Amino acid sequence: MTDVQPTGATIEQTLSVVSHILTNADVAKDVISHNGWVDGLSQEQTALLFLASRFQWAVELLSLQNSTLESQVDGLLLRVKDLEERVFV
């Protein structure tokens, strides 16, 4: 896979963690503890929550990046308008 996450990291890293969660109960317990999730989740539930949290994080990051780009484009459009007014006066 070559899909890229918003940080520029490839999705293989996330899938590798999911694989470790599904195959190693200690890793699943560590992920549960690290994220402050409820004890007693199965490895499958932990893997799904991990994927869901990564997806939510990616959406939030992309939304923030989108807002930043919108602000930058608005600023550039104002500069272009200002330059046009100076040139065509």
For 28-66, how does the pLDDT look when each residue is reduced to its tens digit (9 = 90+)? Answer: 999 999 999 999 999 999 999 999 998 888 888 889 999
Query: What was the pLDDT predicted at 87?
Result: 86
Residue 74 has pLDDT above 90, yes or no: yes
Q: How many domains does the chain have?
A: 1
H or E segment and range at residue 80: helix 43-87
| pTM for this predicted structure | 0.70
Cα torsion angle, 48, 50, 51, 57, sign: positive
Within a domain: 2? no
Core vs surface per residue 37-69: b (16+ CB within 10 A) or e: eeeebebeebbebbeeebeeeeeeeeeeeeeee
For 25, the domain range is 12-87
